[in-house]
Chain A
Amino acid sequence: MAATASEVKLLGAWPSPFVLRSRIALNIKSVEYEFLEEKFGSKSDLLLKSNPVYKKIPVLLHRDRPVCESLIIVQYIDETWTSGPSILPWDPYDRAIARYWGAYIDDKFFPSLVGIAKAEGPEAKAEALEQAKAGLELIEKAFKDCSKGGEFFNGDQIGYLDIAFGCYVGWIRVTESMHGFKLFDEEKTPRLVAWSERFCAHEAVKDVMPETEKLIELLK
């Protein structure tokens, strides 16, 4: 189903990894959309009306009907625009595994990444870093199992789990730069190192992935 830009709007902000998920999914499906950037530090009336439960971005507005929660938006995009490549695997077991790791990444990995920034003092930072690295080793194994020899978590094409995890690559690189250590490790997570380069260079990702330097500027 083709969409005009006015039919599809995305409420978001360029630094948000959650918003990035929606943008990558829309790009995969070649869907044109209007990006409505929320002003930092305030919430528009449209956002509050469209997401009264959480009042958060991203919100996808399709013919003025709101869809909220980033991974739910990705699934909606996948189901609604079927002429583009599939985002979720077709096999129900592979879908369950992709959803499982998507949930792990949001519930466990992302908090561990945030934990590094929040940790005070070198000991706490070192512990937080070890936790995040342990998470990445699990994700490395998930890549090995899910990719089935392909270049992406979803095999030969980027898909749900690439999007779910890939949205954090910018912030992982920011964390590496600001704290002076490597999270993506050539020795422990070689597959993720290679994958992250391929992911960021992908047609659907490269124009919307925020630049690391710009993210670092934001934090200053």
Chain B
Amino acid sequence: MSKNDEVILLDFWASPFAMRVKIALAEKGIKFEAREEDIMAGKSELLLNSNPLHKKVPVLLHYGKPICESAIIVSYIDEVWPFPAMLPTCYYARAQARFWADFVDKKLFDGGCGIWRNNGDALELGKKEFIEILQVLEGALGGDFFGGDNFGFVDTIAIPHASWFYAYEQFGGFKVEDVCPKLSAWIKRCLKRDSVAKSLPDPSKVYEFLCMFRKMNGLD
């Protein structure tokens, strides 16, 4: 496989799941075409045909063959273009990396929903649960990055969610820096990487986007 293979990403600017794929491709130096789905106007034929079961972004099309589910796409990218490696070589460390990536997948986005989709007592409970999730995740930091010295698989899976933290902080009245200083430092470190900086949107735009959703659903 070459870095000039035909690679298309079905994308949505605010999706942390799509951001994971953009970061992985950038880390590997793979050229790709990002096609923005307009989720408000309706999903494209290509998306509906490529991901008929879930009808969601991201979808990676590698010479037209669709791969769905962001963590699976990132694993695929790592396997097809092995350098630089995103997973460690030690099998035990790989299992730990997959475990924490899976934890992020199971907990982080839904945990955040507990804040931005709620008001009042439900929001307060959501905030408490979200902070607990962040604290568990912070405990897994192996060094500068989740794998230790090098940016890798878990960092790629987790860092996109940080683009939604400003919004959660505004709705919840807290700061990630206060409750998880180590995680906050890790976020700043990741944002210094080109692959991350160019794949993550401006957090204030995510905040505006979620404010619009809240208004639409009568929360504000």
Contacts and interface: CB of A to CB of B under 8 A. Distances in A.
Nearest to A93: B65
A100 B67 CA distance: 8
| Chain A interface bracket (under 10, 10 to 19, 20 to 34, 35 or more) | 20 to 34
Given A73-B95, A93-B67, A96-B73, 10 more contacts: A65-B92, A69-B102, A72-B95, A76-B95, A79-B91, A93-B65, A95-B75, A95-B79, A99-B72, A100-B68
A53 B99 CA distance: 10
B213 interface: no
A53 B73 CA distance: 25
Question: Interface of chain B, helix or strand or loop or mixed?
Answer: helix
Contact of B72 (A68, A69, A79, A100): A100
Interface string B64-78: 010111001101100
B94 interface: yes
Question: Interface of chain A, helix or strand or loop or mixed?
Answer: helix
Contacts, number: 52
B91 A96 contact: no
Nearest to A51: B99
A76 B93 CA distance: 10
Nearest to B82: A92
Contacts of B65: 93
B98 interface: yes
B200 to A, nearest CB: 24
Interface string A188-202: 000000000000000
Interface residues of B, number: 21
A36 to B, nearest CB: 19
Contact of A104 (B53, B98, B99): B53
A96 B69 CA distance: 9
Interface string B99-143: 100110000000000000000000000000000000010000000
Contact of A53 (B62, B68, B136): B136
Given A53-B136, A72-B98, A100-B68, A67 B92 contact: yes
Interface of B: 53, 62, 65, 67-69, 72-73, 75-76, 79-80, 91-92, 94-95, 98-99, 102-103, 136
B76 A96 contact: yes
12 contacts: A67-B95, A67-B99, A69-B102, A75-B94, A76-B94, A79-B94, A92-B76, A92-B80, A96-B67, A99-B69, A100-B69, A138-B53
A64 to B, nearest CB: 11
A111 to B, nearest CB: 14
A80 interface: yes
A125 interface: no
A82 to B, nearest CB: 10
A179 to B, nearest CB: 26
Contacts of A79: 91, 94
A69 B80 contact: no
Contact of B102 (A72, A76, A95): A72
B72 A103 contact: yes
Contacts of B91: 76, 79-80
